[in-house]
A and B are shown apart, each in its own frame.
Chain A
Amino acid sequence: MATFYQLDFEKPIVELERQIEAADNRLKAELAAAGATGEESTPINPTIATLQVELAKMRERHAAELTATYSRLTPWDTVRVARHPQRPQSREYISMICRDFAELHGDRRYGDDPAIVSGFARIGPSPGIKVMLIGHQKGKETAEKIACHFGCAHPEGYRKALLKMKLAEKFGVPIVTLVDTPGAYPGLGAEQRGQAEAIAVNMLEMSRLRTPIVSVVIGEGGSGGALGIAVADRVAMMQHSWYSVISPEGCAAILWKEANEQTNQAAARSLKLTAADNLSLGIINEIIPEPVGGAHRDQRGAATNLLGWVLARLNELSRVPMDELLQQRYERFRKMGSYLESHAEPQAN
């Protein structure tokens, strides 16, 4: 196993993974020394046999430990899994689920924001269905991360997304968006070029685009920056992603007056930001399961589940007449919110 970024709650697991790797290497060395070509036909070597048994036991323990750890993640743990550097990002999902990807750049007004990836794609069994794929990109290597502002898009990013979505509408191609952002970029240029306007216009336009839209929160669903590409007919979250009005750190800094391990924990809990919370609040339609131990342990497994969900939902939406689809999309957001109502007579002032 390659060197692994370590989350503190994963320490025992990673330690076990190291032991397994070492034992595995030892076993390979022993097998080589014994001149074995395969498992059969070699006489029983007690060292090798012991190692094999030990290895099997360790693997069992590892699987159990992994399942147990991931079934008791706190909301704050979930946020950290969602930010794991080995977690697949939009470009990785694209390379894993698309048969073809024709990337389309730029907003025709200001520039090409690398924090938003967009283009025509073919997904699913050959020849693949055509979609417009739009996603936040956080960046993997340092240079890419900086160019992408760690997934914080600028107004030109949101406008690029909208331009490509309108293209999809024009040619009757459904839209798939992958959400993964800590939030829209807070900076001088972003404000000057109308960050708020760009996000607002995206939400307004997405609500009336005459083509099916599905969205998946793959990692971080940070506030308006996330929603700016997520006004969709169906919205899902990957099992260990988060989606909320603010990051736990931002919330802790304001309401708890300081962000530290303890207040971040508390804020993450209060914000009800996990996939399960968002499902019960009616904000998302479904949770896409991740392989045991998270998408960062098995990127392909995660991609397979994501693709399956997208194909199923698009198939379902393709049967809905367009006017009905738009009505349902409107109602989906129209009913969100929680309030009480007393029916008092209107008062004149």
Chain B
Amino acid sequence: MSVLAVAEHRRGELRDVSLELLTAGRELADDLDGELHAAVVGGDVDAFGEKLNREGVDAVHTVDAGEEFNHDVYTQVVAQLAEELSPSVVLMPNTVDGMDYAPAVASRLDRPLVTDAVALDTDDGLTVTRELYGSKVETTIDVHAERAAVTLRPSEWPTAEGVGDATIEAFDATIDESAVRSTVTGFEEVGGGDVDITDADVLVSVGRGIEEEENLDMIFDLADALGATVSGSRPLIDNGWLAKDRQVGQSGKVVTPDVYIAIGISGAVQHVAGMKGSDTIVAINTDPNAPIFDIADYGIQDDLFDVIPALIEEFGG
């Protein structure tokens, strides 16, 4: 009973999540007493194939198909590979590109799909653990099927290390070009602006708990008093209250300041992806169950509208 892990790359780089999938895949394959296969589709497949040959990988399948990700190509190729190898589980990343092809692969193969897994277990058939309600609760899902597809949340498993002795082979997929009805015409970096939040030693970061745009004045006052820079979570950028270059998170910037003060931010996984590497994390939030407290070093479980003015006062603002 083998496992197939599908790698991800973008603009010439193999993404870390690929190696995380190998770790999870090896654990699963051990449980199932089977082989771990890895696949990479498109890009510099030879170089990527070498990189995927980590300890515990039995075979790497390379598919020379275009430079960049295209979901129509991926869906066809991964479905063909799965039909050829018949793995018990197809593992794909729960990334933006993963979200763009994994559901189609599962549906085409008639396999049940569980997305955004944070843990896997095979004691009694496959059980997938995932989070609900913005990470406030966890749930387990039993998969009553011989074969399944699962997408894994990034950064939950360590990357696979070492060099393996996998066979690296080209897989000859047949691509029906008439079914490729989308084209990636380019990439664009967004942001610009005049603030570089990745450069700041101290970030005062504000979330939806601030409620109104006018209340942001208080946050800028605090940042002034502390000599800090203001950043924010996605809703503030979506609302147009802060410029895009101040967004922290998966689709914004990854920051690692000495001190990160999260004010009225719940700590959604896509936000945490951008700030968990900060030296000291302080969270101010009325909800003691907010997931931000799981990664905070210091916390105040109180109303920001009381705490922030008091803090400004402390610094003589």
Partners in one complex: no
Q: Which residues of B come within 8 Å of A, CB atoms?
A: none
Q: Which residues of A come within 8 Å of B, CB atoms?
A: none
